[in-house]
Structure 1
Amino acid sequence: MRKQLLLLWLFAFTIQVALAQDAPNPMSWKDVATWKSMPGGGYKLSPDGQWMAYILTGIEADGELILQKTADPESKKSFPIGNASFASFEFSDNSQWIAFKEYPKFVEKQANEKAKGKPLKDKVHLLKLGTDDKKTFEGVGGFSFNGQAATHLVINLPKEGNGDAKGSDLLIYHLAAGKSQNLGNVREHAVNKAGTHLAYTVDAANSQGNGLYLLTMASNSIQVLDSDEAGYQSINWTEKGDAFAALKMKKDKKYKQDKGAVLGVKNLSNPQVTLYEPAKDSTGFDQNYTITPNRRPMWSEDLTRLFYGIHPLVLAEKEKPKKEINADSVKAAEAENLAKIMADTTIKSISDLQKAIGKLNSGKSEDKKANDAKKPDMTIWHWQDDRLQSRQKVLENMDKNYSFWAMYDVVGKKHIALQDSSMRDLNILPQEHFALGSDQQKYELDINLNGQQYRDYYLVDLKTGAKTLLFENFYQPSFASMPRPSTDGKKLLYGKDGNFYIYDILAQTHTNITEKLPVTFVNTEDDHNVEKPMQNPLGWSSDSQYVLLRDGWDIWQIALSGKESPVNLTQNGRAQKIRYQYRFSLDEEEKGIDLRKTTYVRMYGENTKKSGIATLAPAKKGGLAAGVKVLSWEDANIQGLAKAEKASVFTFTKENSNAPTQVYLTDASLSNPKQITENAPDASKFAWSAGVKLIDYVTTKGDSLQAALFLPAGYVEGQKYPTVVYYYEKLSQTLHNWANPGYSGTGWNPSLYTSNGYAVLIPDIVYKMDDPGMSAVWAVLPAVDAAIKTGVIDESKMGLHGHSWGGYQTSFLITQTNRFKAAAAGAPLTNMISMYDLIYWNTGGGNMSIFEASQGRFLGGPWENWEAYERNSPIYHVKNVQTPLLMLHNDKDGAVDFTQGVEYYNALRRLKKPVIMVQYLGENHGLGKLENRKDYSVRMMEFFDHHLKGLPAPDWMSKGVPRLKLGQHLEERAF
């Protein structure tokens, strides 16, 4: 009996060991370096839908391109593409070829970086689909097939040491013949849509042969369209590909800029070239201006006008002529000085003589200083500046290169300026009948102070250049209110005072199209300090007869004829709390929404977090019929619907919190989709979250919100787990999102934490005006209470983390509660009063507009609302802090000034509170350098591991690191 029990025990033990060995492991931060996955958008269908290609890349791993037939998963082939964070690959338009780039391998990059060698070169591989034929091109830059013709592969071959010449070799590979053709000194090239013609510019040494050329691909014939000792650039084909425009720039020593001319080429079979040279148009063109190289020229759709940018000429600085030294004059001056000294009767001693000589020399020095004085290096900050000097500095290059739209009437041979400094912005509307101009200069100071956006709008007639004021002092609480042109360019949709209007440009009438509807199109959930922000419209119909609007839930179709009543197309959104969020654009070349075709829209369940895709069908009247057909609706994140260009083959992506993003292949009905990618091929080796729970809760102020509770890997019901609470305004919609393992700029990755045994709670926060900090308290603590009731969270082992605005919430929460055992705050705002008057260095603007009209959510400045600013500033409650805090704040933070971190750190330190601040030199608001992202990711988890799991604290946490030992410490930890 004992032997039988022993055998049973040994058998059970063996099974347990085997299972333990086969069980996936938690993912470590070192594992992340070699983790391979498909980046967003890293897949493509061939135009005929018969082939699929996608890429897998890794941070410190070599990537691969996967190619397969969509109908045959067994046809899968893999090709190495080296180490790259993204990859370049392209199918030919006839679906017969694929070309892709191969980058240097990771070990090659490391070795080259260590040796400080020359930049490594890339390769391009060309494959004929369905065969084993492969051709490789070495040392390449960009590449592309020649459009619809798909007869050639065009490859740029960068040169080294090209001197003053801006051109390089362009390789044209003839796909059918398998032969290569080389064009030398090509600066720019562009193929038209049909792929029949390649326009290119030559820029050679000493400007020999510089010009604009046209290659006819079928006959391989080259025509010189214009040639000169000038720089040719900015080739821009029309959308149809029947004409193109370009610039011709000539140096003029009198000015800092080159003088420009515009070239227009049409009638490609027998090219007709229009050359407009402003320098020769002294009566029609202001000679204080020239055509700018900073804006690409373009043809009008009817090929009667050329549009281009102009900017003022700036005189070159004149070199000061060198003064010729006249020897006779020098001798005369010396004799004169000697005579003065000899005639001076006050000189009685050697000392008197030295003083007299010094006085003469002093006079010379003063003269020299007056002529060659150095100017100071300084800035004047004036209270009436529209923009802060720091903002002006950020925009300096853009302001220097600013240009105004102009046009040339080819038939009338007339130049017309379309804007000037009184109207800084201009958008040419579709079909080029009109342009919409705008300017905010007279409101700019107040916009920069309080964040409330105002602008004047103008209409410009593109036949005459005449400008008419459309709106003065137009209020834009959000981008949704901006005027948007119809597809024919003759009407505008805009939002005003909580309604949408149509402006008919030809009839000059304004029509309110939403006032009689039973719903509001104001985004009532926007809790910023702005008045009546609108929901973003879906857009215009392709015939300009309808607009599609969203009320936040449903999609409405409104006919402009007035003969059809507005239609609620989706019908059930508001009632069932389903948001019809946006329309999938399946045609890259569409002009508006074609209501004659089935329209695909994305669905999202506000309370269920489900997502899916539905269709709206065409109606007999020309619009869409009411009622949706649901094609997919799951507890998953479904999005990214796409269609093969020339076939009814569709793809979409699906993911879950513990299942990586995969691409699914289907048809127009989205029925029977099949997974076609194997993203994250090593996923099965690691332990992932056991699932997610949706938590409903009510805030202290009575708002009904939700939170996502991600379960730890290996979760066992009834056991409680250490938990990190993470937030940034509203994030419960991420319930079904896959967080791909990586080193983020904030150190946070929920997949790594759940893989390592943590639960992660992500609650929503809504805000009350004048209480951004207290709003977090009112929302987060009830969310935690509700989540604790699930039995998942160990309330004695809870931590907090957030970055930027989330960092502020963290630094504030720990002043209001001691429930959390550890907190990590990244780049936190800590003193709302001092932060208000600081500068957002990344843009150069002041913070006041952010506080009053954006994320801060305060009514007015601190001097008008002192108690609210103080009440919501962590620094003023710092004495309450008992929670150990890890703070990340970098010295070059251009969003939240470094002083905010220093202020909070020093206050906590003065009170002898447990605080550690880590600073990465030269880093901005988030970490950019890979070595820094690695380091902080590890440190933050070590911090939580100690405080929430009870693991021993590493020395950097328990003792700190003296500066003299820091180098060795960092070297030992690097990986």
Structure 2
Amino acid sequence: MHKLALLFACLIGLRPAVAQQVAKKPLDHSVYDKWESVVNQKISNNGKYVLFQVKPQQGDGTLHIKTAGNRPLAKISRGDSAVFSADSRYVVFPIKPPYQLVRQAKIKKKKPDDMPKDSLGIYALETGKLTKYANVKSFQLAEKASVLAFLGTKPLVKDPKPKAPADTLKKLTDGLLEANKAGAPLTVLNLLTGKAREFASVTEYQISKLGNRTAFAVLAPKNSKVVQSGLFAFDLAAGNLKKLSAGKGVYKNLAFDDAGRQLAFTAEKHAEKALVKPFSLYYSDFGADSAAVLVRPGDKVLKTGWSPSGFGKIVFSENGEKLYFGTAPDPIPQDTTLVEFEHAKLDIWNYKDDYLQPMQLKNLKKDLQRNYQAVIYPKQANKFIQLEDEYLRDSYLAENTNTEYVLAVTDTAKRVSMQWEGSTRKQAYLVSTRTGERIAINSKAAKSRFQISPHGDYAVWYDDAAKAWFAFAVATRKTVNLTQKAGVSFTDEENDSPTDPDPYGLAAWTKNDEAVLIYDRYDIWKINPKTGLAVNFTNGVGRQNKLKFRYRLPVAKQKFIEPKEELLLQAQNEVDKTWGYYKKGIAGTKSPELVAMAPMSYSTLDKAKNAGSFIYTKSSVSRPADVYVSGDLKKEIQLSTINAQQQDYNWFTAELVHWTTPKGFKATGVLYKPENFDPNKKYPMVAYFYEKLSDGIYRYQAPAPSPSKLDIAMFASNGYLVFTPDISYTIGEPGPSAVEFINSGVEDLKKNSWVDAAHIGIQGQSWGGYQVAYLITQTNMYAAAWAGAPVVNMTSAYGGIRWESGMSRQFQYERTQSRIGGTLWEKPDLYIRNSPLFQLPKVQTPVVIMSNDADGAVPWYQGIEMFTDLRRLGKPVWLLQYNGEAHNLVKRENRKDISIRELQFFDHYLKGAPAPVWLEKGVPAVEKGRNWGLETSQRNGL
């Protein structure tokens, strides 16, 4: 027995060594659903608690609630989109129905009303008590109080005979709890006291920021004798209910002022058969018995034929003096005498139209709901100012809503050029909310991006033509060039498109609009908007060290940088692509101090409102994006550990590669290798490309069903090298530029003995798909190619429509990604020379095309042109057309399908694996939906 025990102990001791020798298995298509990600991470205002959700790609997620020190408090299956209460005492969240339950309901084709419903969870952080309510449609948590309102409830209690406190779920004596299919029960709950009130037949509701009042609309059931239709307000402290507006109607846009002492809403109470139903604007300060009508249809203050809009957002200014709302022309009544089959149905395209008909139809719902901002002063005899109109129809409020001016921008009568420029030229105005005066900011329309400063003292914009940032001061009405004295460019230094380069952007403002932070390529500049005095806030450290500094306000709803605030600046090293953070006080003059820098990918930081703690995610090629909490980003606590199963699979590594192109350009790319890479073996390689991808070298890439790009994790795990070269472009030569960078990068890698030069493939989607199509007309070095949604004929695509937006495609070829730099009639030779279609006879490479019949970006007939022409030429070509699918696959079942086919295709041509039936024999239409052709010919004896 002693010898047997000793032998057993020795065997146990050997197990780790044996395990290490066991080869890790490659990823397969069965792993997708269980692969996890962390989403919706939050930290409480006091910094003591954190929450996050761990979600598999398909299935039920889990909500985790912990202390900031990583002590678990609760783990709630299917908890979703959780929020903390303002006092950091509660977590409120919807609970999704089980995935399998929803799946079965879909299989049974249940109607939407019969589908499984969400529940609502409330977790008390101090006591650990979890309360659930069933069948919840929506909820609102007061912004500054632990008061909750939610629609559609049914308490869930473990005790079969619950004994609720007398003051809990108290019913109103007026019978408002009668059932109603049109509305739903509303519960208003004080989380601190547990006191609640329920109201039936509610269609709309709104809780005030302080939680002191809740307003809601009731639609009484037909023939009800107890429930009354109308608009009600419930005072939580007093416990009383007030009817502000009586009668059946449509009540919308309920809005409180910040103090919860004023309420405004729109309503219409017309007969059900009325052809036109304009809204009126109502107001209450809770002093009178009912709400007063401030503006009704036909009022003299309105333009003739206008009324308050039921679609306009209602906003009180912070001090409660001003009430912003929308007005609009009364809708055109429909002619009910017309018989549908007796009148024409057509779209009329007119060259004078501001927008093409497809764009008008795409935006039809938005245009039917379009409204024009106005302001009224309820406490000043209802003084009224119309701020917007058909000419000036887009305005923006400052964060300080008390300020006198709003920023308004117009491109009226300048929209036709969008067809070939991709955007419009705009003029901007400051409009007074007291007098209606309009102050022109720029005298000549320009391609500019305008915004108003947080305090409302300045309008700021970047002018594409001048390539500079400007500020217009409200007080002095003078314009200052903010960036001309800096001595550096604030626009894209690497722009390789025939259009004006974009600016690097604006980061944030300091308190009272004293300074604005603006980016150049590397550094952040602190600029006085009054004088234009520009100081390099990061002291040139960025440009000196090739560091790109960027900043985002870290607290939710934070409006500006406080005077003594210390900023954590996100940074990426442009050379080695590492990420990290530096710190620097907003008032300091010293150079930024390094906090952390690593071959990792950091998310932006979210800070506790009343504490110094941050929550963020951090990942690398081999480490999933887990959640961390820290006060200084040096001492950090890891809160999540996802995807433990990854250790069982052959993963991959990533490294930067550099080479010089034939024309002498310095080029960069990323090479991904299998984790078990052996330099003494030869590996097939697939090149995947889309513009520039090297900045993402340290981003975690989970195996996932593909929308049509290359799944790097899947391919690398299965013994492929994956190469992603960055591409820079010469204007007018998008095709040759791809050849210049991609082919030279591949040739450089082929010099390594471990690259199987005879078995290299290429894959690209959309713009990458175009480049795949072009490359195989220029070289026969690739053994297989996959082109997703390619354009092969620029001459036929040039004048087409991008159906997802309704825009013409001309701008893309003349100004943006396609980079031709002129019209088809100005540069026909470039359109033809860069179109793969005209060179298809040279193709020798087997190619699969994905082109879907609901593609809204690239005309799907481009894929058909490529397929039918290659087919006529006798070239090996396949076309995958996913029915009803968009430019990139959306439906998960289709993503899974294409992922299987993509790996099968490259396995066959780059590894010599047996061909699946769909490649070898195809799938006839008579077998559609019965046979997918995924099995190999060998297995079926074909």
Please, what TM-score do these two structures have when normalized by structure 1?
A: 0.86
**Which of 237, 247, 270 pairs up with 1:228?**
247
Q: Is the 8 A contact 1:121 1:139 kept in 2?
A: yes
User: What is the rounded CA distance, in whole Å, between the counterparts of 2:529 and 2:337 in structure 1?
Assistant: 67
Structure 1 residues 464 and 16, CA, compared in 2 at 3 Å: closer, same or farther?
closer
Q: Which residue of 2 aligns with 1:549?
A: 518
| Farther off after superposition, 571-580 or 448-457 | 448-457
**1:220-261, CA deviations, whole angstroms, 9 ceiling, x for partnerless residues?**
222223333332221223456554432122326796442222
User: What is the rounded CA distance, in whole Å, between the counterparts of 1:295 and 1:973 in structure 2?
Assistant: 56
2:503 matches 1:484: no
2:197 matches 1:181: yes
User: What is the rounded CA distance, in whole Å, between the counterparts of 1:791 and 1:593 in structure 2?
Assistant: 55
Q: Is the 8 A contact 1:255 1:314 kept in 2?
A: no
SS in 2 for 1:938: helix
SS in 2 for 1:188: strand
User: What is the rounded CA distance, in whole Å, between the counterparts of 2:275 and 2:684 in structure 1?
Assistant: 64
User: What is the rounded CA distance, in whole Å, between the counterparts of 1:794 and 1:96 in structure 2?
Assistant: 60
Structure 1 residues 237 and 731, CA, compared in 2 at 3 Å: closer, same or farther?
farther
Larger radius of gyration: 1
**1:764-783, CA deviations, whole angstroms, 9 ceiling, x for partnerless residues?**
11111111111111111222
Q: Which residue of 1 aligns with 2:220?
A: 204
* 1:666 alignment partner AA: S
**1:463-494, CA deviations, whole angstroms, 9 ceiling, x for partnerless residues?**
11123433244322xxxx41221222121122
Shift of 1:831: 0.6
2:169 matches 1:138: no
Structure 1 residues 136 and 522, CA, compared in 2 at 3 Å: closer, same or farther?
closer
Shift of 1:287: 4.2
Q: Which residue of 2 aligns with 1:583?
A: 551
SS in 2 for 1:660: coil
**Which of 104, 110, 127 pairs up with 1:111?**
104
**Which of 161, 171, 194 pairs up with 2:187?**
171
Shift of 1:663: 1.3
**1:69-124, CA deviations, whole angstroms, 9 ceiling, x for partnerless residues?**
23244x36432218xxxx22223333333233332223222322222232012222
Q: Is the 8 A contact 2:73 2:128 kept in 1?
A: no
Shift of 1:130: 5.2
Q: Which residue of 1 aligns with 2:267?
A: 248
Q: Is the 8 A contact 1:153 1:175 kept in 2?
A: no
Q: Is the 8 A contact 2:482 2:533 kept in 1?
A: no
Q: Is the 8 A contact 1:157 1:171 kept in 2?
A: yes
Structure 1 residues 470 and 153, CA, compared in 2 at 3 Å: closer, same or farther?
closer
Structure 2 gap segments, 5+ residues each: 1-6, 156-177, 937-942
Map 1:444-455 → 2, pairs under 5 A: 444-451=415-422, 453-455=424-426
Shift of 1:634: 0.5
Q: Is the 8 A contact 1:189 1:200 kept in 2?
A: yes
Q: Is the 8 A contact 1:212 1:232 kept in 2?
A: yes
Shift of 1:200: 2.2
Q: Is the 8 A contact 2:702 2:713 kept in 1?
A: yes
Aligned length: 894
Q: Is the 8 A contact 1:603 1:611 kept in 2?
A: yes
Shift of 1:495: 2.3
Q: Which residue of 2 aligns with 1:683?
A: 646
Q: Is the 8 A contact 1:155 1:172 kept in 2?
A: no
Q: Is the 8 A contact 2:473 2:530 kept in 1?
A: no
Q: Is the 8 A contact 1:759 1:792 kept in 2?
A: no
**Which of 53, 56, 64 pairs up with 1:55?**
53
2:461 matches 1:494: yes
User: What is the rounded CA distance, in whole Å, between the counterparts of 2:267 and 2:56 in structure 1?
Assistant: 44
Q: Which residue of 1 aligns with 2:333?
A: 316
2:749 matches 1:787: yes
Structure 1 residues 970 and 317, CA, compared in 2 at 3 Å: closer, same or farther?
same
Shift of 1:561: 4.7
Structure 1 residues 200 and 253, CA, compared in 2 at 3 Å: closer, same or farther?
closer
Shift of 1:607: 0.9
Please, what TM-score do these two structures have when normalized by structure 2?
A: 0.89
User: What is the rounded CA distance, in whole Å, between the counterparts of 2:865 and 2:271 in structure 1?
Assistant: 54
**Which of 128, 149, 164 pairs up with 2:124?**
128
Q: Is the 8 A contact 2:403 2:455 kept in 1?
A: no
Map 1:785-824 → 2, pairs under 5 A: 785-789=747-751, 792-824=754-786
Structure 1 residues 294 and 790, CA, compared in 2 at 3 Å: closer, same or farther?
farther
Shift of 1:148: 2.9
**Which of 314, 324, 328 pairs up with 1:307?**
324
Structure 1 residues 862 and 125, CA, compared in 2 at 3 Å: closer, same or farther?
same
User: What is the rounded CA distance, in whole Å, between the counterparts of 1:373 and 1:937 in structure 2?
Assistant: 46
Structure 1 residues 533 and 131, CA, compared in 2 at 3 Å: closer, same or farther?
closer
Structure 1 residues 763 and 158, CA, compared in 2 at 3 Å: closer, same or farther?
farther
Shift of 1:597: 0.6
Provide the aligned C-alpha RMSD in A: 3.0
Shift of 1:526: 1.9
Map 1:498-509 → 2, pairs under 5 A: 498-509=467-478
Q: Which residue of 2 aligns with 1:358?
A: none
**Which of 256, 268, 275 pairs up with 1:237?**
256
User: What is the rounded CA distance, in whole Å, between the counterparts of 2:596 and 2:388 in structure 1?
Assistant: 49
Q: Is the 8 A contact 1:539 1:548 kept in 2?
A: yes
**1:15-43, CA deviations, whole angstroms, 9 ceiling, x for partnerless residues?**
8994378543222112212333324xx32
Q: Is the 8 A contact 2:627 2:640 kept in 1?
A: yes
| Farther off after superposition, 411-420 or 169-178 | 169-178
2:588 matches 1:569: no
Q: Which residue of 2 aligns with 1:423?
A: 392
User: What is the rounded CA distance, in whole Å, between the counterparts of 2:776 and 2:369 in structure 1?
Assistant: 48
Structure 1 residues 164 and 100, CA, compared in 2 at 3 Å: closer, same or farther?
closer
User: What is the rounded CA distance, in whole Å, between the counterparts of 1:376 and 1:562 in structure 2?
Assistant: 62
SS in 1 for 2:837: helix
Shift of 1:885: 0.4
SS in 1 for 2:786: strand
User: What is the rounded CA distance, in whole Å, between the counterparts of 1:28 and 1:812 in structure 2?
Assistant: 31
State the identity %: 27
Structure 1 residues 452 and 650, CA, compared in 2 at 3 Å: closer, same or farther?
closer
User: What is the rounded CA distance, in whole Å, between the counterparts of 1:654 and 1:534 in structure 2?
Assistant: 28
User: What is the rounded CA distance, in whole Å, between the counterparts of 2:524 and 2:332 in structure 1?
Assistant: 56
Q: Is the 8 A contact 1:252 1:259 kept in 2?
A: no
User: What is the rounded CA distance, in whole Å, between the counterparts of 1:253 and 1:144 in structure 2?
Assistant: 30
2:78 matches 1:81: yes
**1:929-952, CA deviations, whole angstroms, 9 ceiling, x for partnerless residues?**
222111111001110111111111
Q: Which residue of 2 aligns with 1:932?
A: 894
| Structure with the higher fraction of residues in helix conformation | 1
Q: Which residue of 2 aligns with 1:352?
A: none
SS in 1 for 2:228: coil
Q: Which residue of 2 aligns with 1:344?
A: none
Q: Which residue of 2 aligns with 1:337?
A: none
**Which of 630, 634, 637 pairs up with 2:601?**
637
User: What is the rounded CA distance, in whole Å, between the counterparts of 2:933 and 2:846 in structure 1?
Assistant: 26
Structure 1 residues 144 and 407, CA, compared in 2 at 3 Å: closer, same or farther?
closer
Shift of 1:563: 9.4
SS in 1 for 2:605: strand
Shift of 1:439: 2.0
Q: Is the 8 A contact 2:298 2:305 kept in 1?
A: no
Shift of 1:150: 1.3
**1:129-165, CA deviations, whole angstroms, 9 ceiling, x for partnerless residues?**
3545332211222234334321556454499xx9997
SS in 2 for 1:877: helix
User: What is the rounded CA distance, in whole Å, between the counterparts of 2:146 and 2:537 in structure 1?
Assistant: 44
User: What is the rounded CA distance, in whole Å, between the counterparts of 2:427 and 2:74 in structure 1?
Assistant: 57
Shift of 1:833: 0.9
2:633 matches 1:670: yes
Q: Which residue of 2 aligns with 1:66?
A: 64
User: What is the rounded CA distance, in whole Å, between the counterparts of 1:596 and 1:872 in structure 2?
Assistant: 55
Map 1:241-640 → 2, pairs under 5 A: 243-251=262-270, 256-266=275-285, 275-279=293-297, 281=299, 283-317=300-334, 319-320=336-337, 374-410=342-378, 411-429=380-398, 430=400, 431-451=402-422, 453-476=424-447, 481-496=448-463, 497-562=466-531, 566-580=535-549, 582-619=550-587, 624-640=588-604
* 1:120 alignment partner AA: P
* 2:317 alignment partner AA: S
User: What is the rounded CA distance, in whole Å, between the counterparts of 2:542 and 2:672 in structure 1?
Assistant: 27
Structure 1 residues 785 and 123, CA, compared in 2 at 3 Å: closer, same or farther?
same
